[in-house]
Amino acid sequence: MHTMLYSLQEYNRKSNDDPKVSIQSYGNEIDVWSEGIILIILLCGVPLFWAANILLIVSSI
């Protein structure tokens, strides 16, 4: 729930910025990494990265 709230706050913050600034290009590597994380969650049934707050999650990645 906390992660979702953080994501919503980030989305709302970026939506007020200039659209050209918030549009970033990412390579295929990030797509493959994201798919791998989703696959692990689906197979194992638990998140790969889990912590009490967002700062600990980011530091574990």
Is the residue at 36 inside a domain?
Answer: yes
For residue 31, pLDDT over 60 is answered with yes
Question: Which DSSP string corresponds to 1-61?
Answer: -HHHHHHHHHHHHHHTS-HHHH-----HHHHHHHHHHHHHHHHHSS-SS--SSHHHHHHH-
Is the residue at 21 inside a domain?
Answer: no
Is the residue at 39 inside a domain?
Answer: yes
Range of the domain at 53: 29-61
Is the residue at 13 inside a domain?
Answer: no
What local confidence, expressed as pLDDT, does residue 56 receive?
A: 82
For residue 19, pLDDT over 60 is answered with no
Q: What is the pTM of this model?
A: 0.47
Number of domain units in the chain: 1
For residue 22, pLDDT over 70 is answered with no
Share of the chain above pLDDT 90, in %: 10
- Per residue in 34-44, pLDDT (tens digit) is 899 899 889 99
Mean pLDDT of 9-15: 56
Is the residue at 57 inside a domain?
Answer: yes
